[in-house]
Amino acid sequence: MERDLAKTTKYFGITRPTLIKLMREKGLLNDKKLPAYPHRDREYLSIKNGQWWHPDFGMQYSQSTRVQQAGLRWLAEQLGLEMPEIPATPDRRDVA
């Protein structure tokens, strides 16, 4: 499962600008908010390529950073963030 930076900030309980600032300070993001080392960090961060048609300007292209599921713990370690407690899900098979 991939998360964009906005969903990742909700997971850590911080704002998007704060996450971007921390990632840039650690050298994880470049000036375009994309992974600075996409090959090295490919297990944790990825780039999503998007495209859409604009009636006046033709085909438009975009790129955005995605955080992989394994990247959440890695990112917390890199940036010194707290990992939130994940509540235990009750087992449906438990019957009183």
Give the CA angle between residues 16, 40, 2 to the nearest 5°. 45
- Domain membership of residue 75 (yes or no) is yes
Q: What is the pLDDT of residues 50-95, one digit of tens each?
A: 999 999 999 999 999 999 999 999 999 999 998 877 666 676 776 6
Which pLDDT belongs to residue 84? 78
pTM as predicted: 0.80
Per-residue confidence (pLDDT) for residue 40, from 0 to 100: 95
Do the domain assignments include residue 56?
yes
Q: What pLDDT sits at residue 92? A: 72
Range of the domain at 35: 2-79
* Average model confidence (pLDDT) across the chain: 91
Number of domains in the chain: 1
- Residue 86 belongs to a domain: no
- Residue 63 resides in a domain: yes
- Domain assignment present for residue 70? The answer is yes
Q: What is the separation, in whole angstroms, between the first and last Cα of the chain?
A: 34
